[in-house]
Amino acid sequence: MTEPVRAYRRLLVTGGAGFIGSCYVRDVLGRRDGTEITVLDKLTYAGNEANLAPMTSDPEQAARMTVVIGDIADADLVGPLIGAADAVVNFAAESHVDRSILDPEAFLRTGVIGVHVLLEACRAAPARPRFLQVSTDEVYGSIDQGHAREDDRLEPRSPYAAAKAAGELLVRSYVVTHGLDAVVTRGSNTYGPFHHPEKLIPLFITNAIDDRPLPMYGDGLQRRDWLYVSDHAAGIDAVLRGGATGETYNIAGGVEMANRDTIALLLERLGKPWSLVRQVEDRPGHDRRYAMDGSKLAALGWLPTMDFATGLDATVDWYLENEAWWRAVRSGDWDAYYERQYGSRLRTAT
């Protein structure tokens, strides 16, 4: 049976000051259809109010956006915000696999306790909002062959992926036990403007601009499926409006690339040499390949629109044109993180 396409006018977007969340807010407000958004964001090292600047500087959009700084695990704060929303889209998470290996606790606090607080508030709200949990292809673990489908086993292999899988399972339990109207999306590796420079593509672009070494883990033959950020945001919106209660939807980019090949394309666009690349000690438990079947979401009418060459060009151009943004992000605690993550790797690199 086809689900009705729903319209939501008052959205709570948690984690909306991050990379994908801010793109989602930008795209929904940019439709200028009267939708009002409250962003709830803790502004961790990854959250950035500058990501919301394009909306704040547009008076019509600014009038429809409220920003609340706070934690999704704070039940007193979350309750009234959820009570005033027609739908909740939860982007909030610690999102970097390497940091989950160094310091896993915050991943569990936000990914498990935080999600639980949101679900309890939805359950308690007099007019229960629809809840969308933004999850990841990493919950399937490494896919040696073929493409993961939504009913496949969850086999997370990093603390990050385990926390995301736990969050999804909590959502599922609230649908079954409490009749909550909730849906889950599993997106693939996302790239584009406003991406924190700790992740592969923006790290290598910004290091290469400065002629710094590029730390490639292991043989660089790990494969990722790349999804442009506005396509990911559109996929989430398609599921919010048309997804069936209790269902999970893969959002697959359909661009499977070995890391080495992605790095070569970036260097070519920047006019920088391969000699910047250093083969460094691998990430522990490194998933070799991610690949998902996207046909379930295609049946709702969503398909990715950005081809990889155009998306990479747009991304490289954005970092070249927005140095002030990424240099500010690569300040403060950045050097200490970089030394901890890469210091000895780079000193023993080949």
Q: Which residues bind ligand NAD (CB under 6 A)?
A: 14-15, 17-21, 40-44, 46-47, 71-73, 91-95, 110, 114, 134, 136, 164, 187, 189-190, 196
Residue 22 binds to ligand DAU (criterion: CB under 6 A): no
Catalytic residue among 24, 160, 228, 342: 160
Q: Which is nearer to ligand NAD, 19 or 308 (CB)?
A: 19
Name the pairing type of β-strands 65-69 and 87-90: unpaired
Task: Identify which of residues 61 and 259 has a Cβ nearer to ligand DAU in the complex.
Answer: 259
Specify the amino acid at residue 263. I
Query: Distance from first CA to last CA of the chain, Å, rounded?
Result: 56
Number of residues that bind ligand DAU (CB under 6 A): 19
**Interacting residue with ligand DAU among 48, 222, 250, 315 (CB under 6 A):** 222
Annotation says 323 is catalytic = no
Q: Which amino acid is it at 284?
A: P
Least distance (Å) between residue 305 CB and ligand DAU? 19
Q: Is 94 in the site for ligand DAU (CB under 6 A)?
A: no
200 binds ligand DAU (CB under 6 A): yes
The percent helix, strand, coil of the chain (3-state, each to 5) is: 45, 15, 35
- Selected binder of ligand DAU within 26, 64, 147, 199 (CB under 6 A): 199
Sign of the dihedral through C-alpha 328, 331, 333, 339? positive
Please state the separation of Cα 176 from the chain's center in Å: 26
Q: Is the CB of 96 or the CB of 147 nearer to ligand DAU?
A: 96
> Distance (Å, rounded) from C-alpha 140 to C-alpha 252?
13
136 binds ligand DAU (CB under 6 A): yes
Residue 169 CB neighbours (<10 A): 14
- For residue 138, indicate whether it is catalytic: yes
Residue 184 as a binder of ligand DAU (CB under 6 A): the answer is: no
Nearer to ligand DAU, 156 or 243 (CB): 156
- The one-letter amino acid code at 305 reads T
Residue selected from 203, 233, 239, 252 as contacting ligand DAU according to rule CB under 6 A = 203
In this chain, which of 189, 230, 248, 250 binds ligand DAU, going by CB under 6 A?
Answer: 189
Nearer to ligand DAU, 181 or 225 (CB): 225
Instruction: Tell me whether residue 224 or residue 330 sits nearer to ligand DAU (CB atom).
Output: 224
Q: Which amino acid is at 205?
A: I
Could you say which of ligand NAD, ligand DAU, none residue 168 binds, taking C-beta under 5 to 8 angstroms by partner kind?
Answer: none
Residue 207's alpha-carbon distances to 47, 192, 327, in angstroms, are 21, 16, 11
The residues near 173 (Cβ < 8 Å, ≥ 6 apart) are none
Query: What is the β-pairing status of strands 223-228 and 256-258?
Result: antiparallel
DSSP bridge partners of 280? 217
Q: How far apart are CA 299 and CA 287, in angstroms?
A: 29
Asked if residue 165 binds ligand DAU (CB under 6 A), the reply is no
Helix axes 115-124, 75-83, angle to 10 degrees: 50
Active site residue 160: yes
Catalytic residues: 137-138, 160
Interface positions with ligand DAU (CB under 6 A): 95-97, 136-138, 188-189, 199-200, 203, 215-217, 222, 224, 259, 283, 290
